[in-house]
Amino acid sequence: MHQFTIEPLLGSNLDVAGFNIAFTNSALWMLITAVVLWIFMLGGMKRELVPGRWQMTVETFTGFIDDMLEANVGKAGRKYVPYIFSLFMFILFANLLGLLPLGIVGVHPFTFTSHFTVTGVLAIISFSIVLLVGFYKHGFHFFSLFVPHGTPLPMIPIIFPIELISFMVRPFSLGLRLFVAMMAGHVLLEVLSSFVIDGWNAGAGFGLLVGVPSFLLMIGICALEILVAAIQAYVFALLSSLYINDAENLH
């Protein structure tokens, strides 16, 4: 589990109000992810009359998010494109950079989305936007979200707390899904790599019997992890847009 250990890089003894605020490997890779995303966007914002491949790639991603929000939220969803796009791309780049086999600036790749503290904060941000938009647009009528249309009056005392609890669990399930998916994939790769190393250390025969199949399986899992990295970023953005739809289009 060493690959998931958060290690201080600078200011390991720096405490504020009893909390250690050292610059860690997790913070470093968040910074690297933000810089890579900024460079990606900078190269695609040239607005040339005949767009190049880089600009077309950026426009494809933005168009994809725009279409997703329009399908889930409607025309009102366009104002959320910057947030959902940033969320999707940040998670996507974080997941992909965590799969790098070699480090950058001498630091081993670190998948900070494999920590629930990170995914949980991202989920809470989305959840907070839903609450702010819901109460700003609808006031106390927002509570009608917890009473489905057509619910019989005697059933409201039962349905309301069930719907309320289901709503409050959303940020937990949203953050947990991404955290579990990324952590499970990295653990599986670690286990298979130990089979490869231990197999060849045990001898050529055992290496051919266990090491080679494990190595081939690792290649397949790596390809699957790239797909999972994209899918999890999409699912996080999709669910965030669906939650925003509840606040925007409350009936």
Strands (E), 91-224: none
In this prediction, residue 64 carries a pLDDT of 92
Domain ranges of the chain: 46-248
Burial, 65: exposed, middle or buried (Cβ in 10 Å; 0-12, 13-18, 19+)? buried
The token pair at 181 is 């998916």
The DSSP output letter for 148 is -
Residues lower than pLDDT 70 in the chain: 1-3, 12, 103-107, 204, 206-207, 251
Distance of CA 237 to the CA centre of its chain: 8
Q: How far is CA 43 from the centre of its chain?
A: 23
Write down the pTM of the prediction: 0.86
Asked if residue 240 lies in contact with residue 127, where contact means CB atoms within 8 angstroms, the answer is: no
DSSP string, 217-233: HHHHHHHHHHHHHHHHH
Position 3 scores a pLDDT of 67
